[in-house]
Structure 1
Amino acid sequence: MDGGVGCGQPDGACRWEARADLVVVGTGVAGLTAALRARELGMNVLVVTKDAVDGGNTRWAQGGVAVVLGDVPGDSVDRHVADTLAAGGGLCDTDATAAIIGDGPAAVGRLRDRGARFDPGADGGPARTREGGHTAFRVVHAGGDATGVEVERALLAASRDGRVPMLEHHVAVDTLRTPAGDVAGLLVLDGSGVPGVLTAPAVLLATGGLGQLYQATTNPAVATADGVAIALRSGAPVADLEFVQFHPTVLYTGEGARGRCPLVTEAVRGEGAVLVDSTGERVTAGVHPLGDLAPRDVVSAAITRRLASLGEDHVFLDATHLDAPTFQRRFPTVLAACLAVGVDPSRTPIPVSPAAHFSCGGVVTTVDGRTAVPGLYAAGEVARTGLHGANRLASNSLLEGLVVGTRAAEAVAADLALGVLAEPRLAACPPVPVVPVADRDTLQRVMSRYAGIGRDAEGLAVVGSVLDVSAVDRPLATRELVEDAALTLAARALIAAAASRTESRGCHVRDDFPGVDPEWARSLTVRLTPSGQPMLDRPAVLTRGAA
């Protein structure tokens, strides 16, 4: 243990220790951006990931980055803010939204300086497309529909050039905390399940989302709500977990599809594709003024209603107006996925259905990534900054990761300089937590059936009962148990909020309460009771670190 923190493990089981100023958990856009900025600010930073460094969700982002660069006539930051607020269903934090979107141009500029190459337009500037909820062509993209791949490539290359150390195949289990409750490091397991500690006065969670709560998702296998669980067990509140965005156009690969399903980017509709049902009727006709480019919650709900009325399980995205060379140039990733299931999108409409995509809620933070727990920060999809509200505007997620990742690193530097963070030597290495763990297959089945796009009180109660019956207290001694425990806790927190929100708003659709209730125009926060049970809290307000 090198004379560091005290070990609370039986038989001294914390086998090794590493030290840093900042430990970043996750290698997505937010985590790598934060690590690079921390390194620039002179901090000793360590990045830890439970998978390979390229195993996160960033690489799967197809559409692009929504940003106003001043080169699109009529567009403005204010207009981008207005579109975001409209999509967010009355739950966006206006100040946070303006701050994050306002920082967007500088953040994208830094990304380009780090080597990211966006597709060029005819005028020599970046090409643009439009996605659902946007009133202007403001989404920059790379590789046609492979923006996430390019963002990840550039950030990983910059991290290697900047000598940012990365610890692969180590899963974060729990934070180290001082007697006062401040975070001062991280308990991790290596690939063989051997525990160790990473001591640091600051820990940044950038672990991504919780798509694996559901049977079918656009998220990779690593999206198991790890950061949400770690934050809750550390004493930080989470908010807006009931708002899970289902992407309306995920490639339909057959009945009972499981795991990560190929996304058909919204930009295909931005280029003129339309949604039709099996009879050839338009799905979104008369539903919203923006039609097929309405916000995602609107389009997903319209598809779900149409499928219920027809007794079918998928609709079609007709992009046959695009010839084969155009589709190949603009959407090579989508084309490859379609051809793999025998569909040529230039000749035949693409079968699609909604699937779990993005968590609009998460750990409550400021726009600088600060949580209510000193020493604990969060950025990216795991965080709830107030940008997304009840429904995320398309392509705002990469932007948020770039902006908040940078701001979080700067917040850590400021907090270190002010001396407000804990001394890691005051923390003890905790024993491996023993917490409820439900069977993942059972959890995914009941969440998909009762807590997807359409919910009601009876179904949500079924989910709660099934989780109560199936969950068994287990020590988190393996990566699989850490992930399953995180999914169990996140599901319970989500159900608590969803059952309490007796209205339909944004991504949260209650079949038994179909209307929007002005009384619910506020966020619901959840924290853990001393016994480890999710409990609804007051509306989301931070007690420290105001933006």
Structure 2
Amino acid sequence: MNDHRMTTDALIIGSGIAGAVAALTLAEAGVETTILTAGEELTWGNTSLAQGGIVYTSEEDSPKSLEKDILTAGWNHNYIRAVRHLAQHGPEILKKVLIEKYPVPFSKTHDSWNLTKEGGHSIARILYCADHTGKNIMETLAEALNASPNIRILTSRTAIDLLTTGHHARHTDYQYSLNNQCVGAYVFNEENKSVETILARFTMLATGGVGQVFLHTTNTQSSIGSGLAMAQRAGAKLMNCEYIQFHPTALYGGAKRGERRFLVSEAVRGEGAKLVNGSGEAFMPKYDERADLAPRDIVTRAIMDEMLHSGADCVYLDVSNNVDCDIHERFPTISQNCANMGVDICSQPIPVVPAAHYFCGGVLTDINGRTTLDRLYAAGETSCTGVHGANRLASTSLLEGLVWGYGAANDIAKHLAHKKTILTRKLVDSIPDWQSPGNIENEDPALIAQDWATVRNTMWNYVGIARNKYRLNRAFADLRNLYKNLQDFYRKTPPSKPIIDLFHGSQCAYIITLAAMRNKQSKGCHFRVR
């Protein structure tokens, strides 16, 4: 087998909490596992940016209470079976994985966990590590991944396409078969600029979110919807792609266009901070009885309404007069980032604006993370389990990634133990290595930058917080033309990471726009004014 071709029992594309937990669970079961990350380190991704925390439980809590809060935040558009699965099994899986097996230093006093409350929650049930919970989780998981003998870690890798028997196999036995199966992926190796063929008995998408297709986002550069784009091309079913949650409080200022905006955690409001306008008026009570702790979609629209009526570029989060805790100790990362901009959060309000934050839709999966394409699983933000419905409840994302990553891995291990899925010699030989669609060296960074600007401005202006049919129709026409031109360009040019990312990002934007056009009912974070 050549240097650009390898086989593995399980291929996991993405190294956030869902991918990392899946890899560790598989490795523990003795499964040969390969995990890919687009960055140079495993901690490179959205999970590390999670500030607020992860949903757990308390003595006053119950699965029924958590279930009710999730359904309320999700506008009852949720899949009740998935919500119930998370509410009933989430805390026990968290305890097993992140407290007992791979201990994360969550905040505690003596023998009791310190729990906080965020928007949409009826009770304090969220575990946290100051305001860098995701960072601590990923550092703990990355250490375990690096120590595992059953895990092959491939950094600086970008998946180009999922390999399927229906699209890629050359043997007539597969070409005539009604059953399409995922058997790995073509992967771009950024270090040596080559394309690798990775064949796998099972493949999992854990590629994260879509925020970078919008002009303003809290997401990392890799959040371009690559898993969504690859899954659609492979024939897997997608769901709820119109539901994009905009976080109401991203730090205003300091970020250039297209760069990630720094997130000011909802936990700050959970500790008592109030949103105020330029006149210092706390405005949330006039929009919702839950005031500053209303679900994110409601808070985001309230902020946009205030900005629209006042003509201001931002609103403010007033911490100084409302928070009882030691603000610098409780939120050190937020405090430092604000200080870098010249804002002392103990005496000055924090300027904030909404930004694209979390994708509530994705590749449709069942309770075990299985997609509609055989041998393909999905977990984390790239998947649609049905837990979030039309709007995500705060701090459920990390728990969902943990639960579905863990469950999918156990399901894969079970199938592998029964030898139900094998990579036969006939199948391996029938999948060709990557053949470049063209050899014209016409990649131009200026053109790529301009195309990204088109995608991000179009999505922000026409498929953003408030949508209507005229904006969506304009977005559809513009993105359709761009996507067609990129397909023509893609066929003539050798692959590179910038080109692959642009191709995936433009397809992702097109998918979201189509879903938003088709759904004429305003609900949750798909808000249509007409």
> By percentage of residues, which structure has more helix?
2
In the other structure, the counterpart of 1:62 is 51
Aligned AA for 2:26? A
Preserved CA contact (<8 Å) 2:273 2:323: no
Distance in structure 2 (CA, Å) of the matches to 1:291 and 1:131:
12
Distance in structure 1 (CA, Å) of the matches to 2:276 and 2:474:
34
Q: Secondary structure at the match of 1:347?
A: coil
Preserved CA contact (<8 Å) 1:245 1:360: yes
Computed over aligned residues only, the root mean square deviation of the Cα atoms, in angstroms, reads 2.0
- 388 and 208 in structure 1: CA distance in 2 versus 1, 3 angstrom threshold: same
Preserved CA contact (<8 Å) 2:73 2:392: yes
Distance in structure 2 (CA, Å) of the matches to 1:171 and 1:114:
30
- 391 and 323 in structure 1: CA distance in 2 versus 1, 3 angstrom threshold: closer
Distance in structure 2 (CA, Å) of the matches to 1:255 and 1:302:
23
Distance in structure 1 (CA, Å) of the matches to 2:300 and 2:103:
32
In the other structure, the counterpart of 1:542 is none
Distance in structure 2 (CA, Å) of the matches to 1:145 and 1:255:
20
Instruction: Pick the aligned partner of 1:469 from 476, 481, 495.
Output: 481
In the other structure, the counterpart of 2:248 is 248
Report whether the alignment pairs 1:134 with 2:134.
Answer: no
Q: Secondary structure at the match of 1:103?
A: helix
Shift in Å at residue 439 of structure 1? 1.4
Instruction: Pick the aligned partner of 1:429 from 408, 429, 432.
Output: 432
Report whether the alignment pairs 1:181 with 2:193.
Answer: no
Aligned AA for 1:190? N
Preserved CA contact (<8 Å) 1:200 1:424: no
In the other structure, the counterpart of 1:225 is 225
Q: Secondary structure at the match of 2:285?
A: coil
In the other structure, the counterpart of 1:16 is 4
Q: Any idea what the Cα deviations from partners look like across 1:149-185, whole Å, max 9, x if unmatched?
A: 1100110111122232200011111122223421111
TM-score by length of 1: 0.87
Report whether the alignment pairs 1:373 with 2:380.
Answer: no
Instruction: Pick the aligned partner of 2:154 from 167, 180, 183.
Output: 167
In the other structure, the counterpart of 2:441 is none
Shift in Å at residue 113 of structure 1? 2.2
Shift in Å at residue 430 of structure 1? 5.9
In the other structure, the counterpart of 2:62 is 76
Instruction: Pick the aligned partner of 2:517 from 491, 495, 499.
Output: 499
Q: Secondary structure at the match of 1:448?
A: helix
Distance in structure 1 (CA, Å) of the matches to 2:101 and 2:388:
27
Q: Any idea what the Cα deviations from partners look like across 1:91-130, whole Å, max 9, x if unmatched?
A: 1111111112222122211112234334434452211110
Distance in structure 1 (CA, Å) of the matches to 2:258 and 2:402:
31
Q: Provide the identity percentage.
A: 35
Report whether the alignment pairs 1:102 with 2:80.
Answer: no
Q: Which runs of 5+ in 2 are unaligned?
A: 166-173, 439-447
Shift in Å at residue 480 of structure 1? 1.3
Distance in structure 2 (CA, Å) of the matches to 1:397 and 1:98:
15
Q: Any idea what the Cα deviations from partners look like across 1:327-350, whole Å, max 9, x if unmatched?
A: 111000110110111111100110
In the other structure, the counterpart of 1:85 is 71
TM-score by length of 2: 0.90
Distance in structure 1 (CA, Å) of the matches to 2:422 and 2:436:
22
Aligned AA for 2:299? V
Distance in structure 1 (CA, Å) of the matches to 2:399 and 2:255:
34
Shift in Å at residue 39 of structure 1? 0.5
Q: Comparing 25-34 with 281-290, which one deviates more in the overlay?
A: 281-290
Shift in Å at residue 274 of structure 1? 0.5
Shift in Å at residue 324 of structure 1? 10
Distance in structure 2 (CA, Å) of the matches to 1:240 and 1:323:
37
Preserved CA contact (<8 Å) 1:114 1:155: no
Aligned AA for 2:321? H
Aligned AA for 2:431? A
Report whether the alignment pairs 1:511 with 2:529.
Answer: yes
Preserved CA contact (<8 Å) 2:218 2:262: yes
Preserved CA contact (<8 Å) 1:201 1:424: no
Aligned AA for 2:231? A
Distance in structure 1 (CA, Å) of the matches to 2:263 and 2:506:
26
Report whether the alignment pairs 1:270 with 2:264.
Answer: no
Distance in structure 2 (CA, Å) of the matches to 1:406 and 1:452:
33
In the other structure, the counterpart of 2:444 is none
- 376 and 481 in structure 1: CA distance in 2 versus 1, 3 angstrom threshold: same
Q: Secondary structure at the match of 2:269?
A: helix
Aligned AA for 2:146? R
Aligned AA for 1:182? Q
Instruction: Pick the aligned partner of 1:150 from 136, 153, 170.
Output: 136
Preserved CA contact (<8 Å) 1:118 1:126: no
Report whether the alignment pairs 1:279 with 2:279.
Answer: yes
Report whether the alignment pairs 1:43 with 2:46.
Answer: no
Distance in structure 1 (CA, Å) of the matches to 2:472 and 2:80:
31
- 241 and 432 in structure 1: CA distance in 2 versus 1, 3 angstrom threshold: farther
Q: 1:278-297, aligned counterparts within 5 Å?
A: 278-297=278-297
- 23 and 256 in structure 1: CA distance in 2 versus 1, 3 angstrom threshold: closer
In the other structure, the counterpart of 2:171 is none
Preserved CA contact (<8 Å) 1:365 1:372: yes
Distance in structure 2 (CA, Å) of the matches to 1:114 and 1:481:
40
- 44 and 30 in structure 1: CA distance in 2 versus 1, 3 angstrom threshold: same
- 64 and 424 in structure 1: CA distance in 2 versus 1, 3 angstrom threshold: farther
Q: Secondary structure at the match of 2:231?
A: helix
Preserved CA contact (<8 Å) 1:35 1:47: yes
Shift in Å at residue 419 of structure 1? 4.3
Distance in structure 2 (CA, Å) of the matches to 1:366 and 1:324:
43
Distance in structure 2 (CA, Å) of the matches to 1:281 and 1:377:
48
Distance in structure 2 (CA, Å) of the matches to 1:452 and 1:234:
27
Aligned AA for 2:12? V
In the other structure, the counterpart of 1:334 is 334
- How many residue pairs get aligned? The number is 495
In the other structure, the counterpart of 1:445 is 457
Q: Comparing 420-429 with 171-180, which one deviates more in the overlay?
A: 420-429
Q: 1:195-206, aligned counterparts within 5 Å?
A: 195-206=195-206
Distance in structure 1 (CA, Å) of the matches to 2:93 and 2:65:
18
Distance in structure 1 (CA, Å) of the matches to 2:389 and 2:126:
20
Shift in Å at residue 309 of structure 1? 1.1
Q: Any idea what the Cα deviations from partners look like across 1:470-508, whole Å, max 9, x if unmatched?
A: 332214711111111111111111111101111210001
Q: Secondary structure at the match of 1:165?
A: strand
In the other structure, the counterpart of 1:486 is 504
Distance in structure 1 (CA, Å) of the matches to 2:287 and 2:436:
48
Preserved CA contact (<8 Å) 1:320 1:345: yes
Preserved CA contact (<8 Å) 2:197 2:433: no
Report whether the alignment pairs 1:30 with 2:30.
Answer: no
Preserved CA contact (<8 Å) 1:450 1:459: yes
Shift in Å at residue 322 of structure 1? 5.9
